[in-house]
Amino acid sequence: MSLSRLDIFNLRIFERARLDPVPGLNLIVGPNASGKTSLLEGIHMLATGRSFRTPRIEHVVHRGSRELMVTGQVTHLQSERIRMGIRKGASGTRGRLAGRTVRSQSELARVLPVQVIHPDSHELLAGSPAERRSFLDWGLFHEAPEYMMILQGYRRALNQRNEALRRGFPDNVLTGWERELGERGEALDRYRRGYLERLWETLLELRGQLPDLDGMTWEYRRGWKDGVDLREALASGRHRERELGYTLMGPHRAELVLKRDGVSLAMEASRGQQKTAVLLLRLTQVAAHRRATGRSAVVLVDDLPSELDAERREAALEFLRGLECQVFVSAIDGAQVQRLGNWASQKMFHVEHGTLRSD
């Protein structure tokens, strides 16, 4: 699966841009502020309805315009072509897939799975636990469609219970929400554990491809005490949670700690080591997704050279090549990613102040 055509309208610096990518490596080169990241942002917007830089759409829409639009064509098995598109602005979002309007953005995300690695991607290790929970959610969204339904139901029930806690509703109201949270929460935990086990099998096979990652391990904390049923834990925590006005236990508090030689990578690894570890984690997800579903994802790497030395850069490109999926890499200096290896197809795009040309 690959993106074979991309049209961008009114996104950041671009009023209009067209890209005809190849299924292998697409290298986007240009000076600072030319629009490299904006192109990757356009692909991410089409696939997920969101920017990876800001939750505020007004910053992404070209100044002076009301909305942005991104359309694309996804090619499956070299022959099946699917058209998709998204319009987004202050007045809302509209998505189109194969000639019809979609009910939810997730329909586009299923057709075009996208994994992004950007200069702040070390936040996966150093940022809040929510970053790591959404990492797990990415894999499960693509592998187990029912997982998202359970998660959405869990979030609804959680909001209801929090509201009931804040408004001092009686115990029998809370018990109903706790039953639902208990069932859904235990199921989410089982999915996450299973996914992590599978992911780690793939990671162990792949980690030798990047330097410095021997001895990497994980510790998953599910969000409530081991050996206790979630429903019982919620019932016993009710008194304290009434005072706080929110639910302290459950998979919405789960944490994934990544370690190397027993020490947290978030606490002690250098920025370059963290970036290499994040590359490994995200690219392992792409490989595991392929194994589980038979489908490939598109990988976006914004500013690959930043903070990676030559050895790490080359190893990263080699790793990307081995995944055999479509890759978009941006860089200021094409020479830094010159040793591209033997890709099945590759193309270089030059960006200059919002205009685009290819070799």
Interface with ligand ATP (CB under 6 A):
12-13, 30, 32-38, 59, 61-63, 332
| 55 labeled binding residue | no
Helix (H, G, I), strand (E, B) or coil at 145: helix
Q: How many CB atoms lie within 10 A of CB 277?
A: 23
- Give least dist CB 63 to ligand ATP, A: 4
Q: Which is nearer to ligand ATP, 36 or 282 (CB)?
A: 36
Query: What is the number of H-type helices and E-type strands within the chain?
Result: 11, 15
Structure tokens at 117: 């690695």
| 35 labeled binding residue | yes
| 272 labeled binding residue | no
| 33 labeled binding residue | yes
| 172 labeled binding residue | no
Q: Which is nearer to ligand ATP, 21 or 305 (CB)?
A: 305
- Give least dist CB 47 to ligand ATP, A: 17
- Give least dist CB 157 to ligand ATP, A: 38
Q: What is the DSSP letter of 62?
A: P
CA angle 96, 98, 100 (to 5 degrees): 50
User: Is the CB of residue 67 less than 8 Å from the CB of residue 27?
Assistant: no
Q: Which is nearer to ligand ATP, 30 or 182 (CB)?
A: 30
- Give least dist CB 26 to ligand ATP, A: 15
- Give least dist CB 34 to ligand ATP, A: 4
Q: Which is nearer to ligand ATP, 35 or 237 (CB)?
A: 35
Closest by CA position to 109, among listed 81, 72, 78: 72
Helix axes 310-323, 271-293, angle to 10 degrees: 10
Who contacts 190 (Cβ-Cβ below 8 Å, separation ≥6)? none
| 37 labeled binding residue | yes
Structure tokens at 155: 């979030």
Q: Which helix (H) or strand (E) holds 316?
A: helix 310-323
Q: Which is nearer to ligand ATP, 33 or 263 (CB)?
A: 33
Q: Can you say which residues are annotated as belonging to the binding site? A: 30-37
Q: Can you say which residues are annotated as belonging to the binding site for ATP? A: 30-37
